[in-house]
Amino acid sequence: MGEWLTGRLWLVWLLVGGFAAAAYPLLPQNSHLANLAYEAVGLGAVIMVLLGVRRNRPARRAIWYWFAAGLGIWSLGDVTYGVYAHRTGTAPIPSLADVFYLGAYLPLAVGMWLLLRAQGRDRAGVIDACITASGGGLLLWVFAMRPIADAGNVSFIHRTFSLAYPFADVVLLVLLARLLTGRAARTTSYWLFVAGLVLMFATDVSYSVLSTYAEVPPGILEIGWLSSYVALGGAALHRSMGALSEPVDALETTLSVARLAVLAISSLIAPVLLLGQGLAGVHHMDWLAIGVVAVALFLLVVVRMAGLVRKVQSQSEQLAELAMRDDLTGLPNRRLLEELIRDELDCGGHPQVAFIDLDDFKRINDGLGHAVGDQLLAAVGRRLTGVLRPGDVAARLGGDEFAVLMPDTSRTAADALVSELAAALEQPVYAGEHHLLVQAGIGVADAAGTRDPFELLRRADVAMYAAKESQSRQERFRAEFDQRASEHARLGAQLREALDQGQFQLVYQPIVALPRGEIAGVEALIRWHHPELGFMSPADFIPVAERNGQIVELGAWILLEACSQAATWMATLGNAAPGKVSVNVSARQLAEPDFAEVVAAVLAATGLPADRLAIEVTETAVFGGGRAIEALDAVHRLGVRIALDDFGTGHSSLGLLQTCPVDILKVDKSFVDNVTMAGRHAVIATALINVSDGLNLDAIAEGVETAEQARELYRLGYRYAQGYHFGRPVPSPQFVLESAAA
């Protein structure tokens, strides 16, 4: 019981103190009992603050000691006021009680200032607080301070002390507004602390206004002051009080709807008061006060908007910078390099470009791990940058490919610099604990006869392949390279253009449920309609993309496009939408360290549920294990299903079922072609469906071309199939079956 009470002492204090505050008006006014109860709550609040500091041990105790001092001085004012009230029936103005009351504002203000400083710099929050306080201060001047200042029936000392209270409240309002607009953690202690200050401010203002225009009702306003004592004591007792004075993120304050509404109302106070006084026919309008505050509010709003504009511009520049930079090396990426080349060409310059591709990087990546590979790429980026002249630009194009732009450079100077680059790369590179020797093929080209940045990069790319084929390590582009370069080199350059110009298209082939042939899912397949060569088979360009690393970007585009289409079908077709979309993933994609993050980002961006996506990989892609299996494990944990494509044709198909997170087996077409023939032809297909059933995997028979094959597969136990018999790949979501299995 004692431990429970200790942990909830703040709640007990709130209940007891709240009851005392609510019951105070019921006590005989100016009696010993009333004065004793009032003073007990005030002194109790001081004790609770000190007890909270001792129990919770905040990092910045001085802040709370200042608050305790302020409450203690305020309580001394209460005791002094009680003595006056007991002797004379009321306290004179001014009196020693007023000295204590006004003196309490100083330690409270110091404590607030220390608290706000501990929470970090927030320029926008300070401006918002000034805007709010300016509007509130103007209201206090018009309705409380101005009548006191104009009162001619009181002494100068009386008027001075009477004005000091609302002036102190204005200071409290500024600090309170800053606290409310700040970025402090919204804990229980925070809200109790804010409640205490709001009650104190509201009660002070109410007293100033009521005492100016009418008789203050006895015992009513005391509820507010007593409640402020209770709330501040509870804030100190709660275990979250330490977080109130902890440093917080000092980012600029955001403009929420509520904050914007408060700022708008505060900004309108001055013109509304001016309009109201004019309509009411007030003879002595507060021109000066309203005018000064209106100008101050205007300037504050201008400064606030200027800060917002600068923030938006800064964020826009940062986003643009991030979009044009490689995350790993910090170098410009391909798009930024293309823009720089275009700018150079548009200005009439004569740029030279060197295209650099590292040798055996995949072996290093697979053998030593991606962490070492990443460190190697970063070190190569620094090595290249260290050789460049002022004005030259090194960029990472993707994978292990780099490029160097040499603006307005002669062939002789460019060739000399390329030789320096090659020599620099031949020096050992330290990647983590490894001492690595790397080499690279370098192709260099100029812009003679072209003003197209893509063409310049293509020439350098072709020259780089020529350098690798000739073992010369570096080559300058020559016209004959286009005639004798390998098809892979030419296709590699064209693939880049195809990606940039949107020449690729996805088609979808249905995966059906046997025996009726209902569509259970689709497989996304890529098609390339070359503007000059016409339709190109994936068998022609996918190996090229694998070799030069473009498969990573192409695969990411396929994944995003397929998931977007699947999400659209879900939204438009409902239950008629395909239940799953399968996307083929290459070994090169699995080797990327962020493959799982890419899949997660695509699912989040498209809104497609993870269980509606299947990743298809060939056995050869995961045969080596290592990073590929780790990538599939990470994707599988997202809820994405994994399918082994062309199952049964790899090196160790059954062994993969023990190491790879498989959900689906796609039985290769070679085992389906002769499944209707008697004898041994159906044995493997039968064995594979038994393996699938035993491991609780879905088996999909590929390459089904006849109704007889479909019927026999169903008889053997297959429940899913795919092939031309059920539908050819088409871009439209309206899949029409040519026929159905009987």
Predicted confidence (pLDDT) per residue in 259-315, tens digit: 777 777 777 877 777 777 777 766 666 677 777 777 877 887 788 777 777 777 777
Closest CA to 522 of 480, 570, 478: 570
Nearest to 713 by CA among 693, 679, 689: 689
Query: How many other CB atoms are there within 10 angstroms of residue 555's CB atom?
Result: 24
pLDDT tens digit sequence for 449-479: 888 888 899 999 988 888 876 767 788 998 8
Main-chain phi, psi angles of 401, to 5 degrees: -105, 135
Measured at the alpha carbon of residue 138, what is the angle toward residues 135 and 142, in degrees to the nearest 5? 145
Residue 213 in this model has a pLDDT that exceeds 70: no
138-142, 322-326, 496-500, 676-680: which is most confident: 496-500
Give Cα separations from 425 to 357, 364, 376, 428, 441 (angstroms). Answer: 11, 15, 11, 8, 10
- Measured between alpha carbons, how far apart are the two ends of the chain, in Å? 76
The answer to whether 685 and 725 are in contact (CB under 8 A) is no
Q: How far is CA 644 from CA 616, 635, 663, 665, 682, in A?
A: 6, 14, 8, 5, 20
Q: Is the pLDDT of residue 503 over 70?
A: yes
Q: How far apart are CA 661 and CA 337, in angstroms?
A: 40
Residue 141 neighbours by CB under 8 Å, 6+ apart: 166, 286, 289
For the stretch 63-118, pLDDT in tens is 899 999 999 998 898 888 878 777 766 666 778 888 888 888 899 889 888 888 87
For residue 662, give the 3-state DSSP assignment. Answer: coil
pLDDT at 149: 61
Cα–Cα distance measured from residue 399 to residue 624, given in angstroms and rounded to the nearest whole number: 20
434-436 and 429-431 as β-strands: parallel, antiparallel, unpaired?
antiparallel
- Per-residue pLDDT tens digits for 410-461: 999 999 999 999 888 888 888 877 777 777 889 999 988 888 888 899 999 9
514 and 741 in contact (C-beta within 8 Å)? yes
Q: Which residue has the higher pLDDT, 487 or 80?
A: 80
**Residue 204 and residue 173 in contact, taking contact as beta carbons nearer than 8 Å:** no
Secondary structure letter of residue 325 according to DSSP: B
Give CA separation, 236 vs 196, 241, 418, 566, in Å: 11, 6, 68, 55
Of 82-96, 544-558, 575-589, 684-698, the least confident: 82-96
Alpha-carbon span 538 to 533, nearest angstrom: 14
CB atoms within 10 A of CB 279: 8
- Do residues 703 and 673 touch, judged by C-beta distance below 8 A? yes
**Checking DSSP bridges between strand 613-618 and strand 534-536, what pairing results, if any?**
unpaired
Name the least confident of 541-550, 661-670, 682-691: 541-550
d(CA 243, CA 447): 62
In three-state secondary structure terms, 482 is: helix
